[in-house]
Structure 1
Amino acid sequence: MPFKHILLPLDGSSTAEEAVAHAVTLANTSGAEIHLLHVQRSHTGEPSVDPVDWRLRRAELRSYLNRLAERLTRRDIPVTVSVVEGRPAEQIVEYCEEMQIDLIVFTAFGKGGVSRFAFGSTAQKVFSGSGRSFMVVRPGETPADPEKTAYRRVLVSMDGSPRSEWVACQVASMMRGQEVELILLQVIAVPDMPRRMPITQEERATREKFVECNRRAARAYLDEVARQLQNGITVRPLLVVAQNVAERINATAIEERVDLIAMSAHDWQSGAQQVTGTVCHTVMSHSDRPVLVFQDLPEAQLQALRAGADFCQIRHPTLPESDAAQR
């Protein structure tokens, strides 16, 4: 399974709590442990902070996390509770390193509330500096009750790269045996031809030929990936042509009524030195659906995939026909 330790940073606000249901769902599908973390700002060096009030607040926060931990434990989810002191983003990143966190689940905004920007300052710093896979949840789009959170349709963004193939494999592995439809979406981009004058008929024909060539190759590619993943779950390849890839991904997620978008942090054009590729950043900035972003594989595994190794390392035995029919 891709995730063993899921970090759920909470600032005590109802907005941040909207990520709880998703962390629970992912923990159940991955068999992962949830780490509940609150970062309390330091009172030292700030004369305006009453030390007594600060200690009372710390006790209240720990009690709040303990109550939440009890609820999760009753669902057979292992939980660790921590309250640390310092700057929120820095402490979250440090906690990830110390506890070997491999997934962070958080809302785009916290107690500061929704703003005109795509993310709150802490969320922006965390996914930029942690180097971990993460899920971004938009406030107001998720039921607060974990029992009502389920992923019935999951859209996986594909671009022909080893990274996206690996993501599809990880998602399929997590969802194996559940009543879920996995939609493998590849958007064929129409090449831009920026110029002052309209393109000629010959140039238009050349562009259409280029798009059609990519479309045929992508169709065969998606069918093959779907064939390899279709074992105990429903996998549907979907191919569309559009001018803007990120916009089309978000529009398709709405049209298909998906519950989750999953994608690699880096597309085939972006390098690992970037936090996220352009397509990923645009999708998670504008999507009203939860977006699960997988960070890069270790370089050795990426090289193996580029050399033609099997992208789906996590294999399950083929289900008997009778079992498959019951799914």
Structure 2
Amino acid sequence: MPFKHILLPLDSSALAEQAITDAVSLARQCGADIHLLHVQKPPSHVDEHCADPVDWRLRRAEIRSYLNGVSEKITAQGVDVTLAIVEGRPAEQIVEYCEKNSIDLVVITAYGKGGISRFDFGSTAQKVFSGAGRSFLVVRPGEASLAEEKTAYKRILVSMDGSPRSEWVACHVASLMRGQEVEIILLQVIAVPEMPRRMPITREEHATREKFVECNRRAAEAYLEEIANQLKNGIKVRPRLLIAQNVAERIYATAAEEGVDLIAMSAHDWHTGAQQVTGTLCHTVICQSNLPVLVFQDLPDAQLQSLRTGGEFCQQSHLALAQDGSAHS
């Protein structure tokens, strides 16, 4: 299974709590445990909650009681829970906790106690995405997150681009959902090449572009059918192929049209490679989609550390594939 230890950071806000249902759903389907984490400010930090050490201790007791209440609700659904309260800056402590406790998935809302803003994410979520180096599920509160009455995802859209990374994601999603009543939609969007210029393109150039798109479409059609047939084993897998100029926009728009519960994709697409913690396509989708997005991180730890610190890393082909080493397993 892809995930064994899921981290669910909670700041006691109603916004952060909207990620609980998604975390529990994934934990049940993976057989994973959930780590409930709250980051408390040190007693020396004076604010409206921690005016003095006595208030700080009272606040800590309240947090413990709050986490115990959440834990009881989760364990009642058959998921093991670990509680942790740490001190410091939220993003830094979340990243450190991931490293110390072998966390392989972080489930977090786009906004927390700071509230919804004009920005795509709250400051803590943004720092966790770029610094944790883990797969993550981002839930946009107040939108189309998994409803509390649901216990599992029923329809999942997997973004495909013909790369081994996207195949790896599709294999993991299929493995995760094996035995469930679920439909997996394998979506590949063929990009129409841009030809920026002041003057309109000629008829010959237009024909060349159309021929290029058609060649890619035929190849993608056969490719998606092959992958879908490989993944079908007690679950419904449906390929879908589209052509668009804006690939990211078509991904999250199609997910909304299909009424999916979850979008799954690799952190890195075929074009952007591994020069960033997340590629441009992935970043755009998680910023613009109202649906939960499950992002699979596949870079080696050494390269992720290099990207975070700005150092150089010897480029090499590396995919954290299934244990048998094949994206087609």
Scaled by the length of structure 1, what TM-score is found? 0.91
In the alignment, does 2:167 pair up with 1:141?
no
**Structure 1 residues 36 and 3, CA gap change in structure 2 (3 angstroms):** same
- Quote the residue 1:302 is aligned against: 319
* Contact 2:120–2:287 (8 Å) recurs in 1: yes
* Contact 1:25–1:146 (8 Å) recurs in 2: no
Percent identity (aligned): 71
**Structure 1 residues 29 and 102, CA gap change in structure 2 (3 angstroms):** same
Deviation at 1:297, TM superposition (A): 5.2
Secondary structure of the corresponding residue to residue 273 of structure 2: coil
Deviation at 1:269, TM superposition (A): 1.5
**Structure 1 residues 144 and 14, CA gap change in structure 2 (3 angstroms):** farther
* Contact 1:18–1:142 (8 Å) recurs in 2: no
Unaligned stretches of 5+ residues in structure 2: 301-315
- Quote the residue 1:2 is aligned against: 2
Matching of residues 1-327 of structure 1 within 5 Å: 1-44=1-44, 46=46, 49-142=51-144, 146-296=148-298, 298=300, 302=319, 310-313=326-329
Deviation at 1:272, TM superposition (A): 2.3
Aligned counterparts of 2:102 and 2:274: Cα–Cα separation in 1: 20
Query: What is the Cα-based RMSD across aligned positions, in Å?
Result: 1.8
* Contact 2:248–2:281 (8 Å) recurs in 1: yes
Deviation at 1:148, TM superposition (A): 2.0
Deviation at 1:273, TM superposition (A): 3.4
* Contact 1:272–1:296 (8 Å) recurs in 2: no
Deviation at 1:300, TM superposition (A): 6.9
**Structure 1 residues 144 and 157, CA gap change in structure 2 (3 angstroms):** closer
Deviation at 1:67, TM superposition (A): 1.4
Deviation at 1:271, TM superposition (A): 2.9
Unaligned stretches of 5+ residues in structure 1: 314-327
* Contact 2:74–2:81 (8 Å) recurs in 1: yes
**2:15 is aligned with what amino acid?**
T
**Structure 1 residues 22 and 65, CA gap change in structure 2 (3 angstroms):** same
Aligned counterparts of 1:144 and 1:304: Cα–Cα separation in 2: 28
* Contact 2:185–2:239 (8 Å) recurs in 1: yes
Secondary structure of the corresponding residue to residue 179 of structure 2: coil
Secondary structure of the corresponding residue to residue 194 of structure 2: coil
* Contact 2:139–2:145 (8 Å) recurs in 1: no
* Contact 1:165–1:311 (8 Å) recurs in 2: yes
Aligned counterparts of 1:303 and 1:290: Cα–Cα separation in 2: 23
After alignment, is 291-300 or 3-12 more displaced? Answer: 291-300
**2:319 is aligned with what amino acid?**
L
Scaled by the length of structure 2, what TM-score is found? 0.90
Per-residue displacement from partner, 1:184-212 (whole Å, max 9, x unpaired)?
00000000000000000000000000000
Secondary structure of the corresponding residue to residue 148 of structure 1: coil
Aligned counterparts of 1:102 and 1:245: Cα–Cα separation in 2: 28
**1:302 is aligned with what amino acid?**
L
Q: How many residues align?
A: 310
* Contact 2:146–2:261 (8 Å) recurs in 1: no
Deviation at 1:304, TM superposition (A): 8.2
Aligned counterparts of 1:26 and 1:165: Cα–Cα separation in 2: 20
Deviation at 1:13, TM superposition (A): 0.4
**Structure 1 residues 152 and 275, CA gap change in structure 2 (3 angstroms):** same
Deviation at 1:144, TM superposition (A): 7.9
* Contact 1:163–1:297 (8 Å) recurs in 2: no
Aligned counterparts of 2:186 and 2:144: Cα–Cα separation in 1: 23
**Structure 1 residues 63 and 312, CA gap change in structure 2 (3 angstroms):** farther
**1:104 is aligned with what amino acid?**
V
Per-residue displacement from partner, 1:138-188 (whole Å, max 9, x unpaired)?
111256864424311100000000000000000000111111110000000
Aligned counterparts of 2:194 and 2:239: Cα–Cα separation in 1: 25
Secondary structure of the corresponding residue to residue 43 of structure 2: coil
After alignment, is 137-146 or 85-94 more displaced? Answer: 137-146
Secondary structure of the corresponding residue to residue 122 of structure 1: helix
Aligned counterparts of 1:212 and 1:144: Cα–Cα separation in 2: 37
